[in-house]
Chains A and B, each alone.
Chain A
Amino acid sequence: MATMTPGVLGSFVHVDAATDAIRALKAQGHTDLTVYTPAPNHEIEEVLDHPVSPVRLFTLVGGLTGCAAGFAMTFWMSNDWPLLVGGKPIATVPPYVVLGFELMILLGALSTVAGVIIMSVVNARKRVPYSEKFSDDHIGVFVPCRAEQAAAVESLLKRAGSVEVTHAA
């Protein structure tokens, strides 16, 4: 099995304890932390202070492409074999707004989901220790560090109030 990323994993019950630990770790230069929470938590996000997620660009590109594809498809297909119906012009905007809109929503939504998956996969670290409790009611903080720093990190976590600390070799 690929090797586990070396580092220390702390498990917290109290959210303020976890934020204190994170603030302290960042102060010591450990910026590449991985924090597990059972539900998205506003305080954790603030203390980690990551940039806004780029998923919105996927949505924008998907939406615009969908809308363009919708109008392109309808106009091109109507003019490929022009058939007159009900005295109406062969291809105009009003009836095709519905299709442009539908494809905009469809491609927008699909590209958003693709964005979430891509972004989650792109810079996720492989082989990171995880515990079942982090999806129940515990908050987990994993600090990747070399063996020698492990002890210092463990004491820092315990001081902040971690209920359990494990080491990943």
Chain B
Amino acid sequence: MDETQDTGMDRRRFLTVLGVTGAGTAALSGCSTDRVQKLIPYLVQSEDQVPGIPTYYASTCTECAAGCGLHVKTREARAIKLEGNPAHPVNAGKLCARGQAGLQSLYNPNRVRGPKNRQADGGTADIPWNDAIAEFAAKASAAGGRLAVISGAGRGTFSDLLAAWTAALGGRVVRYQPFDHEPMVAANRQVFGVAGLPSHDFASAKFIVSFGADFLETWLAPVENQRGFAASHGYHDGTKSRHVALSPRMSLTGMNADEWFAIVPGAEAAIALSMAQVILAERSSAPADAVALRGMLAAYAPEQIAQQTGLTADQIKLLAREFVSAEPSLAVAGGIGSQHAGAAQLCAAVNILNYVAGNVGTTVRFGADLDAGDGYAALAALQKQMEAGEIAVLVVHEANPVYALPKSSGFAAAMAKVPYKVSTALVLDETAALCDLLLPESHGLERWDDLRPRAGVQSLMQPVMEPVFDTLPTGEVLLRAAKAAGGPLASLQAASWEEYLKARWQGVAKARGAGDFPTFWVTTLAAGGLYDAAPVSAVKLAPGAQSVVGTSPAFTGEGEFLFAPSASSLLYDGRGTDKPWLLENPDPVTKITWQSWIEIHPETAAEYDVREGEILRLVSASGSIEAPAYLYPGIRRDVLSAPLGYGHTSFGQYATGRGANALDLLAAPGDAAFVPYVSTRVRLEKTRRYQKVAKTEGSNRQLGRGVAEAMSLGAARRGLTPEEAHHEEAGGGAHEINTARELDAIAGFAAAQKAATLKGNYAGDHPQWGMTIDLAKCTGCSACVTACYAENNIPTVGEADVLRGREMSWMRIERYYEGGEEGEPLETRFVPMLCQHCANAPCEPVCPVYAAYHTPDGLNGQVYNRCVGTRYCSNNCPYKVRYFNWYAYNKKAFPEPLNLQLNPDVTVRARGVMEKCTFCVQRIRGAQNAAALERRGLRDGDVTSACAQACPSDAIIFGDRMDPASRVALSAADPRGYHVFEETNVRPSITYLAKVLTGAEA
């Protein structure tokens, strides 16, 4: 790659050889450690880079449209860990699994490494930036009015520049996001006459009803939703909110519901209107203008519509009464799981329901104006123009329509009609593969930018390191093209994209009356942006509210099953499929890795004699897909589902050809306002072929072993322990103690054992690290799993080794089912399982070389360079949380430049060595070193593990159990606390807090 920076030296490449960095890259080498190494100093000492000490930069996550705030931890000028920015209103310090995996899009080995253009022979060739920009400027200005840009960028300075730039040339911009919530936007315009998306306050809602909206996975801002949901739905001071999910398939959000109703697909709107009708009929508290809807709603009385919805009339009435009596409540709709032809009407119905129950303004706040694209209709219109040949130059920026739209929509063919196509994609995806000029954009962590995800939030992005490859921010490309082309673009002059951004922010500073700009700029950058309170605007019913129709849509095609694709919470719309972390992180619902699947109800599978792993073919009018079957009790018997995001044809080595693309089954959206994902019926065919499913699930039933405990709300209110609650449920008789000897045994045994095992605590003056995990708050989203991978250099082992159960994730989320047979409602419990750091650890006495031993501060130490690899410790661990390096996974898992992400504080394990969760001992030692320099002891909160820091539900609390005032000590004293496998007397340091159940009666 040629050098364009004037310093003549690529600072980051040489920084890594400062003799310091790359500490994590060279693995634990076997024999000699005295290889000749070079120490290459700076030319000029940089102020913000001290070798060995991390530097944190505030930035913004670009993995989805929510725009969460980031704190990027860098060591020796390379980003190694992403964490949430505590000051940011959207995610308040938390980050989902996709956000954590942003590093793997930054360091992805499949990234386009420099500008390329199409050669005569059809191949692509590298060209220098200057020529690329000259060619781009010439073509764009020549196209003039026949220029079109498809941009997925969020609202911000770049989008404004792009709009101005394109307008200057007379072209048009279509802002397009695959999951763009078009039905909600249309519904808000129809019912309230307000365009835009409201913000939802899950924290204060006491009763939440979701009509197929998977708000914990891909709906609007999942981290913000999950923070609120965990705060209200998690058991706190004697109460918890209730959540009812109504959808044909139980998504991860459905699993976190207290009740899930497998309703008839498409019947959600009718149920919402029927609930509104019951509320209007029985209560008078509705707003004045809502009363006018009584006429329209009369047709949706529960008795009339109940039979076509899968619910009984009483159930609808019960739901309605509880919805209106719980002040405030919240109904949400518009998720991918229920995006069928009638989705706009469904969202309108839910708007009416919220309005009638008085939630609009309390839990549903308009005025937040969340960022949304122009919707599919605009893209369809552009497609028509492309097919008509009216477009001369098409620029595709941060979007992949060829993959994200069903093949039957013919977008690829439309692109073929455009003579000249430009793409700024980071990775050569399906759309970029068809383009003639590639101007690879710098990743969000390598460029200046800002985003306005919602009203009141202006979130800044700053380059935390030198660009990994020869890429430029697209803003820079536009400005240079403007300078090169001149003419109408002459007005868009700026020294550089950074200056342009600063100029715009000077305007913002002036508007806020900030004094001198430099200090304002530095303080805003450090805070990550400007955060003002989101304005709340009152809304009234618009006349359109009267014309809402609740009839269920007609599904095209014949076939006995309805096909309902599900959006994966890890792969989103398929942009996550090129990241090994997200592919190996088991899907939160099915626990399958690296493969796509077809969900089928066990009884339907029995009826069709389908075993798990048998490859099924689904055939619809528009196409067919093949994938292994996965028996899933959380789906209707007449519905089949498959995940979106798989079946890429060109998206790098990890994603290409992996799994089947669910969109192939869908018909062309035609002139619909949005892509109706749930729209086609399919025929099920067996292919007689079999493929073992790469899932990390052993048995999904806990066989009454008390791994995932739960208790009723009543029991929790009375302060019972899980054991007492079980005891009460199982007949409640007092346990009659027969003999005095039994009394002594119970009393004597426990005391004697406790004295014997106190040795784990040495003199008791050291900290004793411990953790509590609140199963009432854990939603099973697996953000902690990816955070652990990022912090501890855990290698991804690939599909073949996951098939043999050899995945290396130190923390796994166990998903146990309860009930679900013979009509009983299916209940799901999540248990994050990691090393329990037992005081009486069974893995320690069996290790022949003291590789596993107990540290004075209560950790179960695992010394990698002392481990010989007999693996007895893993056999003897009742929790099975010790993982073995069967191969040299560190060599396969970190190809250049993924190895730049390795954390230099954590040893990269070699082959033949056992590894396990260490309670992030490098963070503990780092904090102890820092505290020792300041001559003070550790305070509660100085140290937190990577998983506790990332958990959006704040379910994991880490700290020193010996400190009575610490958060972990207080929450460990919670009566709901229990230890897993208490009877083995291994005395784990992790206390789980039992989940609290609220059945229908609460």
- Interface of A with B (CB < 8 Å)? 83-89
Beta-carbon nearest neighbor of B757 in chain A: A87
11 example contacts (A-B, Cβ-Cβ < 8 A) are as follows A83-B853, A84-B760, A85-B841, A85-B850, A85-B853, A86-B840, A86-B842, A87-B756, A87-B841, A88-B845, A89-B759
Inter-subunit contact A84/B853 (CB<8 Å): yes
Answer yes or no: B599 CB below 8 A from chain A CBs: no
Per-position binary interface string of chain B over residues 740-774, scored 1 when its CB falls under 8 Å from any chain A CB and 0 otherwise? 00000000000000001101101000000000000
**CB pair A85 B845 closer than 8 Å:** yes
User: Smallest Cβ distance from B806 to chain A, in angstroms?
Assistant: 26
Q: How far is the CA of A83 from the CA of B845 in the complex (A)?
A: 10
Is the Cβ of B762 less than 8 Å from the Cβ of A85? no
Compute how far the CA of A74 lies from the CA of B760 in the bound complex, rounded to whole angstroms: 21
Q: Which of A84, A85, A87, A89 has the most CB of B within 10 A?
A: A87
Is B760 in contact with A87, judged by CB distance below 8 angstroms? yes
A85 interface neighbour in B756, B757, B844, B987, Cβ under 8 Å: B844
Given contacts A85-B845, A87-B760, 11 further A-B contacts (CB under 8 A): A83-B854, A84-B854, A85-B850, A85-B854, A86-B840, A86-B843, A86-B845, A87-B757, A87-B759, A87-B840, A89-B759
Chain B residues with CB below 8 A from A89, complex form? 759
CA of A156 to CA of B73, assembled, Å: 106
Q: Which parts of B815-848 form the interface with A (CB within 8 Å)?
A: 839-845, 847
Distance (whole angstroms) from the CB of B874 to the closest CB of chain A: 15
Least Cβ–Cβ distance between B987 and chain A, in angstroms: 7
Overall SS of chain A's interface? loop
Whether, in the assembled complex, B852 has its beta carbon less than 8 Å from a beta carbon of chain A, the answer is yes
Chain B nearest CB from A95 CB (Å) reads 8
Residue among B759, B842, B847, B987 making CB contact with A84, cutoff 8 Å: B759
Question: For residue B845, which residues in chain A have a CB less than 8 angstroms away from its CB?
Answer: 85-86, 88
Task: Note all chain A residues with C-beta closer than 8 A to B840.
Answer: 86-87
What's the minimum C-beta distance from A164 to chain B, rounded to whole angstroms? Answer: 63
Q: Please report the C-alpha to C-alpha distance between residue A84 and residue B843 in the assembled complex, in whole angstroms.
A: 12
Query: What are the nearest 7 A-B pairs in CB distance?
Result: A85-B844, A87-B840, A86-B845, A87-B757, A86-B844, A83-B853, A84-B854
A27 to chain B, nearest CB (A): 66
Q: Could you say which residues of chain B place their CB within 8 Å of the CB of A85?
A: 841, 844-845, 847, 850, 852-854
Please, how many angstroms separate the alpha-carbon atoms of A26 and B854 in the complex?
73
Structural contact, A83 and B850, CB atoms closer than 8 A: yes
CB-defined contacts of A88 to chain B, threshold 8 Å: 759, 845
Q: Taking CB as reference atom, which chain B residue is nearest A95?
A: B845
User: Which chain B residues (840-879) contact chain A, with CB distance < 8 Å?
Assistant: 840-845, 847, 850, 852-854
* Whole-angstrom distance between the Cβ of A91 and the nearest chain B Cβ: 12
CA distance A83 to B847 in the complex (A): 12
Residues in B with CB closer than 8 Å to A84 are 759-760, 762, 844, 853-854
Residue of chain A at shortest CB distance from B853: A83
CA distance A83 to B853 in the complex (A): 7
Q: Among residues 791 to 830 in chain B, which have CB atoms less than 8 Å away from a CB atom of chain A?
A: none
Closest to A84 in B: B854
Q: Which of B759, B842, B847, B853 has most A Cβ within 10 Å?
A: B759
Shortest CB distance A94–B (Å): 12
Question: Shortest CB–CB separation between residue A87 and chain B, in angstroms?
Answer: 4
Distance in angstroms between the alpha carbons of A36 and B841 in the assembled complex? 64
> Residues of A contacting B839 with CB < 8 Å?
87
Instruction: Select the residue from B842, B844, B987 with max chain A CB neighbours within 10 A.
Output: B844
Q: Complex: how many Å from CA A83 to CA B760?
A: 10
Cα distance, A86 to B846, chains bound together (Å) = 9
Distance (whole angstroms) from the CB of A84 to the closest CB of chain B: 5
List, in ascending order, chain A residues with CB within 8 A of B844's CB: 84-86
Bound Cα distance from A57 to B883, whole angstroms: 52
Closest A residue, CB atoms, query B756: A87
Give the one of A85, A86, A88 with max B CB within 10 A.
A86
Using CB atoms, name the residue of chain B closest to A88. Answer: B845
**Chain A residues with Cβ under 8 A from B853's Cβ?**
83-85
- B756: A residues at CB distance < 8 A: 87
How far does the alpha carbon of A83 sit from the alpha carbon of B850 in the complex, in Å?
Answer: 8
A83 to B854, CA, bound (A): 7
- Residues from chain B with Cβ under 8 Å of A86 in the complex: 840-845, 854
* Complex-state Cα separation, A83 to B840, whole angstroms: 13
Complex Cα spacing A86 to B840, Å: 4
B854 neighbours in A (Cβ, 8 Å)? 83-87
Q: Which residues from B are CB-within-8-Å of A87?
A: 756-757, 759-760, 839-841, 854, 987
A86 CA to B986 CA, complexed, in Å: 8
In the assembled complex, the Cα of A89 lies from the Cα of B760 at a distance in Å of 9
Output the nearest chain A residue to B842 by Cβ-Cβ distance.
A86
Q: What per-residue 1/0 map shows which CB atoms of B973-1002 lie under 8 Å from chain A? A: 000000000000001000000000000000
Closest residue of A by beta carbon distance from B839: A87
Docked Cα-Cα span, A84 to B760, in Å, equals: 7
Proximity bits, B76-100, A CB within 8 Å = 1, else 0? 0000000000000000000000000
Q: Residue on A with the closest CB to B850?
A: A83
Within 8 Å CB of B842, what residues of A? 86
Nearest CB on B from A3, distance (A)? 59
Docked Cα-Cα span, A87 to B854, in Å, equals 8
Give B876's nearest chain A residue, CB to CB: A86
Cα-based distance from A89 to B757 in the complex (angstroms)? 9
Write the chain A residue with the least CB distance to B852.
A85
**What residues of chain A lie closer than 8 Å to B757, measured between beta carbons?**
87
A83: chain B residues at CB < 8 Å are 850, 853-854
- With both chains docked as a complex, state the minimum distance between the C-beta of B128 and any C-beta of chain A, in angstroms: 61
- CA A83 to CA B852, docked complex, whole Å: 10
CB A55 to nearest CB in B, in angstroms, measures: 36
> In the complex, what's the smallest C-beta–C-beta distance from B141 to chain A, in angstroms?
74
In the docked arrangement, what's the CA distance between A97 and B1002, Å? 61
Residues of A within 8 A of B987 (CB): 87
CB distance from B805 to the nearest CB of A (A): 26
Determine which residue in A83, A85, A88, A89 has the highest number of CB atoms from chain B within 10 A of its CB, and name it: A85
How far, in angstroms, from A7 to B845 measured CA to CA in the complex? Answer: 67
Quote the shortest CB–CB distance from A109 to chain B (angstroms).
24
Q: Give the residue name and chain of the B residue nearest to A90 (CB).
A: B759
Smallest Cβ-Cβ distance to B844: which chain A residue: A85
Question: In the complex, what residues of A have CB within 8 A of residue B843's CB?
Answer: 86
Assembly CA distance A127 to B847 (angstroms):
57
CB distance from B747 to the nearest CB of A (A): 20
Chain B's closest residue to A81 (CB) is B850
Considering the chains assembled together, what is the distance between the CA atoms of A17 and B847 in angstroms?
66
Contacts of B760 in A (CB 8 A): 84, 87
CA separation between A86 and B843, bound complex, in Å?
7
Tell me, in angstroms, the Cα distance from A85 to B843 when the chains sit together: 8
Chain A residues with CB under 8 A of B759: 84, 87-89
Residue-by-residue, is B639-652 near A (CB-CB < 8 Å gives 1, otherwise 0)?
00000000000000
- A36 to B170, alpha carbons, bound, how many Å? 121
Shortest distance from the beta carbon of B71 to any chain A beta carbon, whole Å = 37
The CA-CA distance from A88 to B987 in the complex, in Å, is: 13
Please, how many angstroms separate the alpha-carbon atoms of A89 and B843 in the complex?
15
Minimum distance in angstroms from A97 CB to a CB of chain B: 15
A88 to B759 CA separation, bound complex (whole angstroms): 7
In Å, the complex CA distance between A59 and B987 comes to 47
> In the bound complex, what is the Cα–Cα distance between A85 and B839 (angstroms)?
9
B845's nearest neighbour on chain A, judged by CB, is: A86
Q: What per-residue 1/0 map shows which CB atoms of B178-221 lie under 8 Å from chain A?
A: 00000000000000000000000000000000000000000000
Closest CB in chain A relative to B978 CB, distance in Å: 20
CA distance A85 to B759 in the complex (A): 9
**Alpha-carbon distance between A84 and B768 when the two chains are bound, in angstroms:** 14
B223 shortest CB reach to chain A, Å: 40
Q: How far is the CB of B529 from chain A (nearest CB, A)?
A: 49
A88–B843 Cα distance when bound, in Å, is 12
- Closest residue of B by beta carbon distance from A89: B759
User: What's the nearest-Cβ distance from chain B to residue A143, in Å?
Assistant: 61
Q: CB-nearest residue of chain A relative to B855?
A: A84
- A84 and B853 CA atoms in complex are apart in Å by 6
